[in-house]
Structure 1
Amino acid sequence: MNSVKQIVRPPRIASPLIAGVIYSIIWLALGALLLSLLLYFSGMKENNLPQSALAIHGFSALAGGFVSGKRSGMKGWYYGAMLGLIYGITVLTIGFLAANSGLSLSSALMLLAAMLAGAFGGMVGVNLKK
């Protein structure tokens, strides 16, 4: 008799970049929720939000780059950096459309941090493929 796991397989995302973007958005949502809870329940000040948001963006890009590199199996830095670029442009576009925020030095810094963190995550992901 066949088990349900053998009959119904969960869908697998074929593209490493799309899988990485999905994972990075999930980590972004969890980080934003954690940051909101810390802001509400602790003595954290709103002045610390830009640094905390940059750290969350960096970690999200790192996690997405890790997934992209692991799924690609090669050129982890390339897939991770492309993931960071896509992630950063997506976040900046959403910020522009939702909050009418323009481009600034902090948005360029976030884009650079996302690309570097994604590239590092991709390199680690490729090397942990074994």
Structure 2
Amino acid sequence: MEHIRRFIPFRIAGPTLSGLWYAYLWMMIGALFLSLLLKWSRFEEDSLSTFTYVVHAISVLAGSFVSGKRSERKGWYQGAITGILYAVLLFVISFLALDSSFKGGDLLYFIPAFLIGATGGIFGKNARKS
């Protein structure tokens, strides 16, 4: 790993921004996996809604874990902010790409993003070496 860091000295310093970066990286990996699953299996797009929620939950958890691990204090707070920003960016992207309208029930998706993000931030902060 040191060899890679020597040639590519790229690191996002802010905990929330780095958490969002990792969250969207995991989301892209999960979307690729689901696309390959659609291509080479008998699944149909209608049956993948549960899997997409799982991919988003894992993405928020991974991103908030990184965010909590890189924070100086209050890992739950950094993780929760990462989860909320992930959900906001996801809604903005879906609004712009799919031309969908924002409904009042869509606010309920922010609650699991907050809770999963806070949990990941707590575990990330506790995984940090003191």
The alignment's TM-score, normalised by the length of structure 1, stands at 0.87
Q: Deviations over 1:17-56 (max 9, x none)?
A: 0000001010010000101111111122322222111111
Q: Distance in 2 between matches of 1:33 and 1:73?
A: 33
Cα gap change, 1:83/1:7 in structure 2, threshold over 3 Å: closer, same or farther?
closer
Q: Deviations over 1:52-104 (max 9, x none)?
A: 11111111000000000000042111101100010000000000001012224
* Unmatched runs of 5 consecutive residues or more in structure 1: none
Counterpart AA for 2:65: F
1:22 match: 21
Counterpart AA for 2:13: A
Q: Note the C-alpha offset of 1:106.
A: 6.4
Residue identity over aligned pairs, in percent, reads: 43
- Structure with larger Rg: 1
1:116 match: 115
1:86 match: 85
The alignment's TM-score, normalised by the length of structure 2, stands at 0.87
2:71 match: 72
1:100 match: 99
Q: Distance in 2 between matches of 1:6 and 1:53?
A: 33
Q: Distance in 1 between matches of 2:77 and 2:4?
A: 34
The Cα RMSD (Å) is 2.1
Q: Distance in 1 between matches of 2:26 and 2:5?
A: 30
Alignment of 1:52-67 (within 5 A): 52-67=51-66
Q: Distance in 2 between matches of 1:67 and 1:22?
A: 9
